[in-house]
Structure 1
Amino acid sequence: MPPLRRLLLGLIAVAALACSAPERPPNLLLILADDLGWNDVGWHGGPIRTPRLDALAEGGVRFERFYSQPLCSATRASLLTGRYPMRQGLQMGVIRPWASYGLPLGERTLAEELRERGYRTAILGKWHLGFANDALLPTRRGFDHHYGHYTGAIGYETHRFLGGLDWHRDERSVLEVGYTTSLIADGAIRWLAEGDRERPFFLFVSFNAPHTPLQAPAGSEEEYAHIADERRRTYAAMVTALDAATGRILDFIEEDGLLDDTLVVFASDNGGEPSAGADNSPLRGGKSRSYEGGVRVPAFIYWRGRLPAGGAITVPVQVADLFPTLVTLAGRPPDPMLELDGRDLWPLLTGEADHLHETLLLELTRGRAALREGAGPYKLVVKRLDGEAERLELYDLDADPYETRDLARERGEVAARLRARLRAYQEQAADARWTSDERPPGGFRIPGVWSPRGLRAANPP
């Protein structure tokens, strides 16, 4: 193990020992940004102001190689199940509002596991895991409370997608005035204030910011008037609004005397979209691609008094790891029958392990795939998967973190080894549910309200 990594893990281990047996399970606050770029947070040196997130990242442990999936629905499925989306048929595209499927009902969710362990549970904001029928709704998947939207993108002030209203509180549509980022924070604070303090909470704050449409709070772009590019200027204001909303939630938790008993995790669901104002530099690529800029995302874990300030984990971890980590902290490990792909992060945080994975599957679609080593430097990107002109790209991420030099020919034995591992994943994959229906299919009528009832009313069987 390199000396610097050993030192970082050792410092974390000393401070984390006190966390091994808390008096009761911690409160869990999970914050997910939507399409946030690698260089769009202050702790990575970016120019956008994120002071509240910076303070948490610097006061906790940063994950410098935290991997998502390339797109939204796939990451959310992996986060909430601890399993790769290819096992659920969700490895391609996103779940469209007119899709007849969602997160399979046979999957056990993080919220269900935590509720079984005595937690009260809520999701505030974006769902994006299907709502074709009532059984797919978040309030039927382990969450006691949901406030937010079901689809992938809505107007920040109108709360509508293609004209249909998509703003709900516990399965009831609501007409409200306000900017969604602020409303989500308001809803989180309201739920915390009204809850049973005798039970620990799991609060999943799933912001839709800074996903398109690019719409910032009124007057907020003035802070970034020096940015010439209009998209970048609006995007920057949206990120700063997300930062402020996060700060309001944390302020309430602290004022309520609960911050020392609350573990906070922050991540983005995938890399930023450069065409929508995001900046993933110096990483290559962006959203929807498996180069580092699309799947290596800003992330940290914070627990005041339990985890050391200024820590950093530099070995690869992934969004699926959050499921077993949080479930185990809640009192007992998940059932092995769940066959998770995620691994408990705690041994890494306490220095008991120096890596968790042999390989991490970053993408597996009908035409593309990518995986990287969990303890070694190599990453394989496959294009035209299983086609006659299949192309392998191999990168040494230690020597070449920005993926500028393809080593597939030079180190063919490494590429072949990783391709064989990828083939094993392919054999385990379910058929992808996605079809190329980026627009509503012919004859589909946009509902007045995006909900199971609204879909049935607009499109009767």
Structure 2
Amino acid sequence: MHWIGRSIVVLALIIIVAIMLWPRSWRENEPASRQAQAAEDPLVARLPIAEEHFSGTDDNAYVSSLDNDLTRSLDQMVAAHGEVFEESDAGLQDRLADADRRLSSIKSEIRTAMRNANRQVRLPGQSSPLIMLVVLEGISKEELGFYGHPGATPLLEDLAERGTVFEACYAGPTPEIARYMLFTGSGHSDGDHRENLLAAMMWNSGYRPLLLENGNWIAKSERRFYDDSIHVATNADTHLPELLMQGEAEVRIVANQNDDSSDDVTTARLLAQQVRQMATTGRDRRPAFIQLHWQITATAPEERFRQIADIDQSVGRVFHDLQQKRGGRSMMLVVAGLPTEASVGTEATSLSEQSLQVPLMIHRTRNPHGATVAEPCGLLDVLPTLAEAIGSSRVPPHNGVSLLNWEDDSQRKKVTRVFRWSRPGNANEVAVRQGPWKAIFGATPQLFFLPDDPRETNDVADENQEVLEALAKYGQIEQR
């Protein structure tokens, strides 16, 4: 009886081998059989043979430009087997391209709907002020009227008199770190300096972020956090706008390309006009977060004064117009400066107060009390300040503090902070600021009492060794 069991096992093995080998032999013989039948039946000759099409490599193979997998596969099939579809509608590929666009649009709408579902809902009665963040890149405190230079920016100066001016707002020793501080609320960066957590927070908090800029520092991938964005390209010689770009659309500023200077349109006025339109014609009722980003590109003093005065008039009038249209509802204006490569100073002065400090002013229509704050703060404080102003529940991790009520002495004196910078390219030279004291640790430690010595010309390290030693522990921390 054992031979019966062995016979069954052998038979099973034969069947398994046959099953494994039969499809392969069928595939190898099928093209030849097709070719043999082609002479007898023309229809067979028109049927595609997969092995003939996909065997080997073809440098001239058609590559579909469609975006979606389904339509791209169909497009490549139609192109590869045109003889099969030669009697079909000649517009088949055009219809596939149209279907691809529709499918991409549907996917985009689905993604937008999913993102909107995660946005914080602004409830009636919740604090939802219209917020304008004006970023002035390449401007110094000495060029603004509310820092003691009356006449340069009268409208901003008027708003500052009913707002809070921060006399010691710190950025970073490089423009990249300064931008990172402003838009992430963090004092240091191990990653992409273009990350924009501020716009993401406003978007997720139920706001409608709008971006208008004459620079181009915001990466395309980060623009997804703005419901709308406008970029103005300026002429390097005239500093006047040449192109206005919104999405895929471009508008050429013809008035600035003729010889008649009387009808020139400045960048500030062009962006101000767009702000009025975008802030009042939204498709939804979400409050607006308007980010205006200007680069002061001129170097000649007269041209710089003209550019800054133009910005002052534009921002001041737009803020006033929006306030009237909103019928007295709450608004908030934040004016912040950013350094440029030209404004951060030389390597020898990159840790000086003049290189590290930037302008910062906050004006709130519901709290029009003028104040000047001498306590140090930083650009990293803008994000938590706006988060508190709007009552956001979607605040990203940060290490700044809110400046919202710093016009009140009792509020800001609760905060004891230490600011630390290392010289770019030389981590062994470090500056530390705490309260009124600033120390620079390098080959020879230096100490300055800033209220009496804002220009850092009088080293008082020998007379204040205890203060220097207290700051030294921060200077020895390894820079992240």
Asked if these proteins are the same fold (TM beyond 0.5), I'd say yes
Q: Contact 1:38–1:272 at 8 Å: present in 2 too? A: no
Aligned counterpart in structure 2 of residue 49 of structure 1, from 136, 152, 157: 152
The yes-or-no answer on 1:414 pairing with 2:473 is: no
Aligned counterpart in structure 2 of residue 296 of structure 1, from 357, 367, 387: 357
The yes-or-no answer on 1:311 pairing with 2:371 is: yes
* 1:126-145 alignment, distance < 5 Å: 126=214, 128-129=216-217, 131=219, 134-135=220-221, 138-140=222-224, 142-145=225-228
* 1:14-33 alignment, distance < 5 Å: 23-33=126-136
Q: Contact 1:73–1:129 at 8 Å: present in 2 too? A: no
Task: Identify the residue that residue 348 of structure 1 maps to in structure 2.
Answer: 406
In 1, the alpha carbon distance for the partners of 2:365 and 2:232 equals 31
Structure 1 position 358, deviation (Å): 2.1
Over the matched positions of the two proteins, sequence identity in percent amounts to 22
Aligned counterpart in structure 1 of residue 271 of structure 2, from 181, 184, 189: 184
Q: Contact 2:209–2:288 at 8 Å: present in 1 too? A: yes
* 1:108-187 alignment, distance < 5 Å: 109-126=197-214, 128-129=216-217, 131=219, 134-135=220-221, 138-140=222-224, 142-148=225-231, 157=239, 168-170=245-247, 174-177=251-254, 178-187=265-274
In 1, the alpha carbon distance for the partners of 2:329 and 2:335 equals 17
In the alignment of these two chains, the number of paired residues is 345
Structure 1 position 32, deviation (Å): 1.5
Q: Contact 2:351–2:423 at 8 Å: present in 1 too? A: no
Aligned counterpart in structure 1 of residue 291 of structure 2, from 201, 204, 208: 204
In 2, the alpha carbon distance for the partners of 1:253 and 1:286 equals 43
CA offsets, 1:106-139, max 9 Å, x none? xx611111111110001211455464xx42xx41
Question: Aligned AA for 2:290?
Answer: L
Higher Cα radius of gyration = 2
In 2, the alpha carbon distance for the partners of 1:317 and 1:171 equals 39
Question: Aligned AA for 2:360?
Answer: A
Task: Identify the residue that residue 440 of structure 2 maps to in structure 1.
Answer: 381
Structure 2 runs not aligned, ≥5 long:
1-123, 255-264
Label 1:393 to 1:184 Cα distance change in 2 as closer, same or farther (>3 A): farther
Structure 1 runs not aligned, ≥5 long:
1-20, 91-102, 215-230, 276-283, 384-389, 430-461
Q: SS at the partner of 1:424? A: coil
CA offsets, 1:378-405, max 9 Å, x none? 113355xxxxxx4433211123122111
In 1, the alpha carbon distance for the partners of 2:405 and 2:323 equals 28
In 2, the alpha carbon distance for the partners of 1:196 and 1:411 equals 61
Question: Aligned AA for 1:327?
Answer: A
Task: Identify the residue that residue 61 of structure 2 maps to in structure 1.
Answer: none
Give the TM-score taking structure 1 as reference length: 0.65
In 1, the alpha carbon distance for the partners of 2:419 and 2:277 equals 38
In 1, the alpha carbon distance for the partners of 2:138 and 2:397 equals 29
The yes-or-no answer on 1:253 pairing with 2:337 is: no
RMSD after superposition: 3.4
Q: SS at the partner of 2:315? A: helix
Structure 1 position 425, deviation (Å): 5.3
Give the TM-score taking structure 2 as reference length: 0.63
In 2, the alpha carbon distance for the partners of 1:379 and 1:367 equals 19
Structure 1 position 359, deviation (Å): 0.6
CA offsets, 1:195-253, max 9 Å, x none? 25722111111111xx2334xxxxxxxxxxxxxxxx22222122111111112311321
Structure 1 position 40, deviation (Å): 1.6
Q: Tell me which of the two structures has the higher relative contact order, counting C-alpha pairs closer than 8 angstroms and 6 or more residues apart.
A: 1
The yes-or-no answer on 1:213 pairing with 2:298 is: yes
Aligned counterpart in structure 2 of residue 270 of structure 1, from 332, 339, 359: 339
Task: Identify the residue that residue 279 of structure 1 maps to in structure 2.
Answer: none
Task: Identify the residue that residue 60 of structure 1 maps to in structure 2.
Answer: 163
In 1, the alpha carbon distance for the partners of 2:348 and 2:327 equals 35
